[in-house]
Amino acid sequence: MPKIKDLPKHKRPREKLFEKGTDALKDYELLAILLRTGYQGKSALEVAKRILKSLPLKKLVKLSINDLSKLKGVGKSRAAAIASAFAIGKRTYMEDNSIIINSPEDAVKVVSFLKDKKREYLVAIYLTARKKLITTKIISIGTLTANLIHPRELFKPALEHNAASIIIAHNHPSGDQKPSTEDINVTKQLKKAGQILGIDLIDHLIITKNNFSSLRIEKNI
């Protein structure tokens, strides 16, 4: 493949971008723009094609900046540009599609699947500093006890996702929404662990088939 500068203008990714917009470019053409230059006699287009042939775009966007830099023809500088572009896209998507958790009712909607569970599930809801939902994760299955859940299991995903706060929720299949003494004690232990890490455990919800309770509202947290 000839160098990009030797291609007709309408086939050069950057010129094509200005003329027709991003929707007219294929994935490898957009990646080539981020790469800017080729590598070892290969044009940026060739390098981009080779990368996407071995790594589909969905997998490429999940790579860390260190893993990106190790790809042949990328290196640290280009990896920084690619990772930054992916991050901007991800943040924009989250802004446009984010769920805001401003109340216990909002959180209950996110974990509504717990209402029909026959066993107790503990689920964590991870939030940004602006209370936007990042992700949820099932932490444990079984009766909630201090022995069943370790703070590491709850806070490791929070650190990985840069969460500012957490809401935990678990169901009572019995239908009794009142928190047990064990529920309250576990919550207090987890809140203390979060304070050490700078991650606020803002509530613990008890979910039943037809109702819920909030330890924060009931001042048990």
Tens digits of residue pLDDT in 5-25: 667 667 788 898 898 888 888
3-state SS class at 117: coil
- Judge whether residue 124 has pLDDT over 90: yes
pLDDT 10s digits, 176-196: 999 999 999 999 999 999 999
Q: What is the pLDDT of residue 146?
A: 58
Cα(103)–Cα(203) distance, integer angstroms: 10
Could you say which architecture CATH assigns to the domain 104-214?
3-Layer(aba) Sandwich (3.40)
Residue 50 CB-half CA count within 13 A: 14
Closest CA to 101 of 25, 185, 165: 165
Grade residue 94 by pLDDT with cuts at 50, 70 and 90. low
Residue among 100, 149, 158, 155 at smallest CA distance from 121 = 149
Where are the chain's structural domains? 4-96, 104-214
**CB 1 within 8 Å of CB 43:** yes
Residue 99 tokens, joined:
């769920």
pTM surpassing 0.75?
no
- Which pLDDT does position 51 carry in this prediction? 93
Residue 142: closest CA among 190, 186, 195: 186
Percent pLDDT > 70 in the chain is: 92
For 62, the token pair is 């999940």
- Asked if residue 216 has pLDDT above 90, the reply is yes
- DSSP-assigned states of every residue in 138-166: EEEESS--TTT--HHHHHHHHHHTT-SEE
Residue 52 in this model has a pLDDT that exceeds 80: yes
Mean confidence (pLDDT) of the chain:
89
Mean pLDDT lowest among 3-7, 54-58, 93-97, 101-105: 93-97
**Tokens coding 3:** 């160098």
